[in-house]
Amino acid sequence: MAYSLSNDLPFLRPELIRHMEEHGTVTTIPKDTEILKTGQHVPVIPIVLEGLIKVCTSFEDRDLLLYYIQPRESCIMSFAASLNNEPSSVFAITEEDTTALLLPIEHVAQWIRQFPDINTLFFQQYNKRYAELLDTIHHVLFNKMDTRLYDYLIEKSRLTQKPVLTMSHRQIASELGTVREVITRVLKRLEQEGKVVQHAEGIEILKR
């Protein structure tokens, strides 16, 4: 499948697009591949062309989903870590088979000086991720787990365009920063309320 950066990122000038296509590498990455580890230095900045990547953080053996990188988006935390030559504070895993344009950081640093309009891409990402992180903090601090879990399932279904989610209770717990037993208990409550159904194929969301 052919991809057109000029269509996906129309605010970037054609000369910059040519440099990105010349020096970047389009790569297809299988589902459930960890493409960035916590503590790793970031060699490339991804721009997702097709698919979905989830970005998470961990603390004391607990993980927490921060945000998803969708098509025509990049990872602002990888961008910041790479420019500062710092190890990554997050890890990233492909949620499904994903095609991404990988931009070597040494070229990105040069393009920032040469083509200031590239900052538009990352400022947009910064604003979006900041809002999403505030929303995550709000959910963690103020919402009960049943609300958090239900909203999480709806968003996951929307992003993957799958009405039935094939996820284990342990995987959900990992992304929400809790334990499997809590997820099992809350899913049973949501099922009793008629909001979800659990069957052999996975978890189906009934009410939107």
**pLDDT tens profile 3-55:** 778 888 888 889 999 999 899 999 999 999 999 999 999 989 999 999 999 99
| Mean of the per-residue pLDDT values of the chain | 88
Q: Which two tokens stand for residue 125?
A: 């990402």
pLDDT at res. 98: 96
CA distance 135 to 155: 13
Looking at the chain, the whole-number percentage of residues with pLDDT higher than 70 is 97
- Sorting pLDDT into bands at 50, 70 and 90, what band is 64? confident
**Identity of residue 198:** Q
